[in-house]
Amino acid sequence: MSKVNSKLENLEKKLIVFSIIRFIVVIIGLISMYYYYKQNSIEGMGFSFLCALIIFLVIAFFHNEKINAKKRLLTMLNYYEKGIKRLDNTWKEFDDIGKEFINRNHNFSSDLDIFGKSSLFQWINVTKTSFGRKKLAHKMMVNNLPTRYEIQDNQEAIKELANKREFCEKIYFAASIENKKKENIEELLKWAKGEEKNSFTTKYISYIFIAITVIIIFLSIIGRIPITYLLLDLMINYLVIKLLTKRLSSVIDTFIKNKREIIKYSSLLALIQDEKFESKKLLELQKDLVGSNINCKVEMKKLKNIVNWLGDSTSNAYYLIINVFLMSDIFILCNLEEWRIKNGYKLEKWLEIMGEIEALVSLSTLAFEHEEWAYPTISGVNEIEAKALAHPLLGDRAKSNDFNLNGSEKVALITGSNMSGKSTFLRTIGFNMILTYLGLPTCSKSFKCGISNIYTCMRTQDNLEENISSFYAEILRIKLVIEAAKAGEKVFFLLDEIFKGTNSNDRHDGARILIEQLVKLQGVGLVSTHDLELCNLEKEKSWLVNYNFREYYKENKINFDYVLRRGKSETQNAKHLMKLAGIDIEY
């Protein structure tokens, strides 16, 4: 990164020099023109202006090259800085938290911190296109359970990309092209899928008007007709262009808005198509870019070349001049029409593949930065086996534990005092299961789990807009779990202190009945509770096993070791916490 900073400093110096030179050229040009003006030399003024303009444009070209080089270096610097922040656990300041994907009604995403502040999305997202971003979010929500083979294919792809850092960096840099205009990709895709034909199917009309313009220019130069005829001709050309493109002016507007995006997509798809892959998934995605008679890289380059003719705005003076002389709007629309007929039906698929690769690149970043983590094993049954399992979002504060829930065991009851780590452990299990389904390594020495729909009930809260209390919200979450199990889904549940809004008897009976029903419906999962009487179910039911977290006191302060132990909790800290708060309690 020091090399990038050094190059950036050198560029800054060169940019200052170019700015000064451009200013000097303008001043010298103005002085020269003023001198010839005083000499009454129109030719001298024209020559001075022309020389100054040519020199200025040449310098401006190289100046813009340096500006673009600076932008590329800043992008590189940003990429490396984010990598460092992920490693030193300061990534929680990243701006993109996937806010629009937050859904409190989703099976697990809110409870397991998939989106939002301090979330998985905020941590690993390096996508820069809307397709990649949506694809990554869709993967994280696991709305459709992957098969064992799909997970294994994802693992292979992620492992390969984790070793292809140069390729991943190129993808990031190519995707980082800025678009100052508000793009509308939906409009672009709608155009690509459209079947409406242009009202003109030939370019001959344009050729005729261009030929007339050339003839008038020639006759004006040799003095056979006045220059006003040329002005009249250009006005007619402008009207003809507007008439022929009136119904399709929205197409031009669409491509002006999305010009930078098309250039970006063309570069990304070319990188993907040219890369040499080995894993099955990446090869299949790459194969879809090259058909029997259609080559994505070639065709996207053609589209990029077409839209490059468009100015940054139709009101751009240079673009307007080119348009009235060469009738470029008509040719652009005709070329776009030809491109759409041949490739339009493929465009969305190509962009989806691009988004898939970009999402996999984001996932591979985590795999690359945590080589010490273990890739999980997929089980054919609904079970959990883990060694040194920890919650990755906690960074250095994470505590690892061994845990098994297999064989005849279907439910783990987690007890312990307040703040001892029960809820965090439930999230640790669920979070690492999501990493597994994404094809990622888990924060463990080893991890094995089945493929199940994860349902959580942990962070229920009041919703004043919908007039829902936290207790009723909890009931709705539990209903969601029960309905899924009754529908025959393979359910893995994580329930945190359920029915806490009721009295102790109702809470005990409700929790016991719910757990028994879920087990009867083939559900498997973890339940945290303060209800120690519920632990007695272990004596009656072979499918239930007790685990606990404990606290200890030192110098009248409560401490936690966050170590998971077999058996039910034997300690309680509520009275001690009240005493620490200044409430007089007699033991």
Q: What is the per-residue DSSP string for 533-571? A: GGGGHHHH-TTEEEEEE-EEEETTEEEE----EES----
Alpha carbon of 101 to those of 106, 113, 128, 356, 557: distances in Å? 10, 12, 16, 17, 41
Between CA 171 and CA 176 the distance in angstroms is: 9
Q: What is the pLDDT of residue 382?
A: 92
Where among 313, 341, 368 does a domain terminate?
368
Q: Domain containing 13: what range?
A: 2-87
Same structural domain, 385 and 309:
no
Same domain for 230 and 300, yes or no, is: yes
Please give the average per-residue pLDDT across 549-559, as a whole number. 80
Q: Are 275 and 168 in contact (CB under 8 A)?
A: no
Q: Which of 165-179, 193-207, 385-399, 561-575 has the highest mean pLDDT?
A: 385-399
Predicted confidence band of residue 313 (pLDDT cuts 50, 70, 90): very low
Does the pLDDT value for residue 377 go beyond 90? yes
Residue 33 falls inside a structural domain:
yes
Task: Write down the pLDDT at residue 396.
Answer: 86
**pLDDT at residue 199, rounded to an integer:** 47
Give start and end residues of each alpha helix (H) in 109-203.
120-124, 130-141, 148-162, 165-175, 185-193
Here the CATH number for the domain that contains residue 470 is: 3.40.50.300
Sorted by sequence, the CB contacts under 8 Å of residue 261 that are 6+ apart come out as 129, 179, 183, 185, 188
In the chain, the number of structural domains is 3
Q: Model's pTM, two decimal places?
A: 0.83
> What kind and span of H or E run contains 378?
strand 377-378
Is residue 53 situated within a structural domain?
yes
- One domain, residues 363 and 389: no
CB atoms within 10 A of CB 583: 9
Judge if 383 and 504 occupy the same domain. Answer: yes
C-alpha span between 422 and 443 (Å, rounded): 18
Judge whether 160 lies within some domain. Answer: no
Distance CA 295, CA 576 (A): 71
The token pair at 453 is 């729909």
Question: Is the pLDDT at 133 greater than 80, yes or no?
Answer: yes
Q: What is the pLDDT of residue 491?
A: 96
Question: Is pLDDT at 215 greater than 60 in this prediction?
Answer: yes
- Angle (CA) 462-465-466 rounded to 5° is 75
Q: Which is higher by pLDDT, 483 or 532?
A: 483
pLDDT for the residue 247: 60
Which of the 8 DSSP states describes residue 415?
E
* H/E element, 289: none
Angle between helices 228-245 and 328-369 (to 10 degrees): 60
Residue 65: what pLDDT? 72
Of 339, 368, 397, the domain-final residue: 368
pLDDT at 585 over 70: no
The enclosing H or E element of 449 equals strand 446-449
**Both 389 and 509 in a single domain?**
yes
Residues pairing with 524 in the sheet: 492
* The pLDDT of residue 276: 96
* Mean of pLDDT over the chain: 84
250 in the same domain as 271:
yes
Instruction: Indicate whether 290 and 419 sit together in one domain.
Output: no
Domain boundary among 312, 336, 368: 368
357 and 382 both lie in a single domain: no
> 51-55, 336-340, 438-442, 528-532: which has the minimum mean pLDDT?
51-55
Among residues 220, 575, 521, 567, which one has the least CA distance to residue 415? Answer: 567
CA 531, chain centre distance (Å): 42
Q: Is residue 585 part of a domain?
A: no
* Residue 140 maps to a domain: no
Beta pairing class for 377-378 and 453-457: unpaired
Q: Is residue 248 very low, low, confident or very high in pLDDT (cuts 50, 70, 90)?
A: low
Does residue 497 share a domain with residue 382? yes
The answer to whether residue 526 is domain-embedded is: yes
Please return the burial class of 527, using the count of CB atoms within 10 Å of its CB with bins 0-12, 13-18 and 19+.
buried
Q: Which of 180-194, 354-368, 560-574 holds the top average pLDDT?
A: 354-368
Q: Which of 241, 244, 197 is nearest to 340 (CA)?
A: 197
Q: Do both 468 and 497 map to the same domain?
A: yes
Tell which wins on pLDDT, 82 or 412. 412
What is the signed CA dihedral for 349, 354, 356, 359, rounded to 10 degrees?
Answer: -150
pLDDT classification of 474: cutoffs 50, 70, 90: confident
Is there a domain that residue 100 lies in? no
Residues 314 and 289 occupy one common structural domain: yes
**Cβ neighbours for 505, distance < 8 A, ≥ 6 positions apart:** none
Residue 322, class by beta-carbon neighbours within 10 Å (0-12 exposed, 13-18 middle, 19+ buried)?
A: middle
C-alpha distance from residue 422 to each of 107, 413, 425, 495 (Å): 20, 10, 5, 11
Answer yes or no: is 518 within a domain.
yes
Give yes or no: residues 327 and 388 share one domain. no
Contact 495, 457 (CB under 8 A): yes
